[in-house]
Amino acid sequence: MLRNQFGKMAMTTVAGAMLMAAAACGGNDTGSGGNTAASPGATSEAPKSSLKVGLAYDVGGRGDKSFNDSAYAGLERAGKELGAEIKDLSPAADGSNRGELLRQLADAGYNPIIGVGFAYGEDIKKAATEYPDIQFAVVDSASNAPNVTGLLFAEEQGSYLAGVAAAEKTKSNHLGFVGGVENDLIKKFQAGFEAGAKSVKSDIKIDVKYLTPDGDFSGFKAPDKGKITAEKMYQDGADIVYHASGDSGLGVFQAAAAAGKQAIGVDSDQYETVKEADLKKVIMTSMIKRVDNGVFEFIKAFQGGAKGGSNSVYDLKVDGVGLSTSGGFIDDVMPKVDEAKKKIIDGSVTVPTQP
């Protein structure tokens, strides 16, 4: 979980991580059992890679069409492009065995190991102490441990752009935001979305609802709750609802389709990941969080000899976050979105991280 303590920790940019790598260089969902795959790009002429990468998912596991699937895309890319042997594991529904998954990967000889989601913060810290010769990375959690890299994202910046697009497209001047778990990380999505929308229309109404309180991660895997919450927002007059709720977003899309309204996806381009045609047509855009790039670049840097002890930050400057344009629903407002993006990058707009 991010608590605005970045100033106390050593930070590196994504470009910095890539430079370190350059300098040094000169599946099916299987539940808690995981998935192991030799590099799809390997040939009989190439020696088997000594790079063995392990990844442990957040609750919901692979197949959430969002956060975890984005992480897997980066892992899979490492298998294809770097010749890595890869293994991915999914936690129990309540996430209670996160530490066990990390140890399972470490004992099996995987190095580096990546924990997907801020909830791995403490478990990664403990595992890194127990296995000092293994390099770890944790998505969405800052770290200064010597063998841990934090992979951080400017969710508030991408959400600001989503807010701009939503405010430009709304016909009712009424939006909604559904958060999976009420914690500091998801509040970054809310804060950015609200700021972006109000930069366009200061009097816009935005309903906000979290599915579960801080510490209860079931809010990321509760499509039924997402649907009920979004239904209420649409009934109350919202015509666009943005969700930051993982697998629960499916329920938001279902509510949008039933109401004849629109929704905004998160993490992955959900227009492309959702299969149902009736749901595709309601996904106006998605706030893309390039967890895939973060995972891949960390693995690439490790292969080049990079070590932990710092944090890589993925923001608008390096396209670490952004908006999807699949379906063409926001093509007409992209000039406004691009203008907002430019202002954030040049520093003339600072996006809040708390509502």
Q: What is the pLDDT of residues 117-175, one digit of tens each?
A: 999 999 999 999 999 999 999 999 998 899 999 999 999 999 999 999 999 999 999 99
Domain shared by 109 and 246, yes or no: no
* Residue 164 within any structural domain of the chain: yes
Q: What is the mean pLDDT of residues 181-185?
A: 96
CATH number of the domain within which 225 lies:
3.40.50.2300
Domain shared by 172 and 69, yes or no: no
Residue 45 has pLDDT above 80, yes or no: no
Average pLDDT in the chain = 88
* Residue 351 within any structural domain of the chain: no
Residue 8 has pLDDT above 90, yes or no: no
* Residue 202 within any structural domain of the chain: yes
- The domain total for the chain is 2
Residue 113 has pLDDT above 60, yes or no: yes
* Residue 354 within any structural domain of the chain: no
Per the structure, the complete domain to which residue 222 belongs is given by: 155-289+325-346
Domain shared by 237 and 312, yes or no: no
Domain shared by 215 and 339, yes or no: yes
Q: What percent of the chain has pLDDT over 90?
A: 77
* Residue 1 within any structural domain of the chain: no
Domain shared by 134 and 280, yes or no: no
Q: What is the 3-state secondary structure (H, E, C) of the chain?
A: CCCCCHHHCCEEEHHHHHHHHHHHHCCCCCHHHCEEECCCCCCCCCCCCCCEEEEECCCCCCCCCCHHHHHHHHHHHHHHHCCCEEEEECCCCCCCCHHHHHHHHHHCCCECEEECCHHHHHHHHHHHHHCCCCCEEEECCCCCCCCEEEEEECHHHHHHHHHHHHHHHCCCCEEEEEEEEECHHHHHHHHHHHHHHHHHCCCCEEEEEEEEECCCHHHHCCHHHHHHHHHHHHHCCCCEEEEECHHHHHHHHHHHHHHCCEEEEEECCHHHHCCCHHHHCCEEEEEEECHHHHHHHHHHHHHCCCCCCEEEEECHHHCCEEECCHHHCCHHHHHHHHHHHHHHHHCCCCCCCCC
* Residue 329 within any structural domain of the chain: yes
Domain shared by 95 and 116, yes or no: yes
**Segment among 59-73, 158-172, 290-304, 341-355 with least mean pLDDT:** 59-73
Residue 269 has pLDDT above 90, yes or no: yes
Domain shared by 88 and 68, yes or no: yes
Report the pLDDT value the prediction gives residue 25, as an integer from 0 to 100. 36
pTM equals 0.80
Give the residue with greater pLDDT, 22 vs 242. Answer: 242
Q: What is the mean pLDDT of residues 175-204?
A: 98
Report the pLDDT value the prediction gives residue 155, as an integer from 0 to 100. 97
* Residue 38 within any structural domain of the chain: yes
Q: What is the mean pLDDT of residues 56-81?
A: 91
Q: What is the mean pLDDT of residues 103-130?
A: 96
Q: What is the mean pLDDT of residues 34-61?
A: 64
Residue 18 has pLDDT above 60, yes or no: no
Q: What is the pLDDT of residues 247-267, one digit of tens each?
A: 999 999 999 999 999 999 999
Report the pLDDT value the prediction gives residue 49, as an integer from 0 to 100. 62
pLDDT confidence of 24, banded at 50, 70, 90? very low
* Residue 355 within any structural domain of the chain: no
Domain shared by 58 and 47, yes or no: yes
Domain shared by 175 and 97, yes or no: no
Domain shared by 254 and 168, yes or no: yes
Q: What is the pLDDT of residues 274-325, one digit of tens each?
A: 989 999 999 999 999 999 999 999 999 999 998 888 898 999 999 999 999 9
Domain shared by 166 and 135, yes or no: no
Domain shared by 330 and 244, yes or no: yes
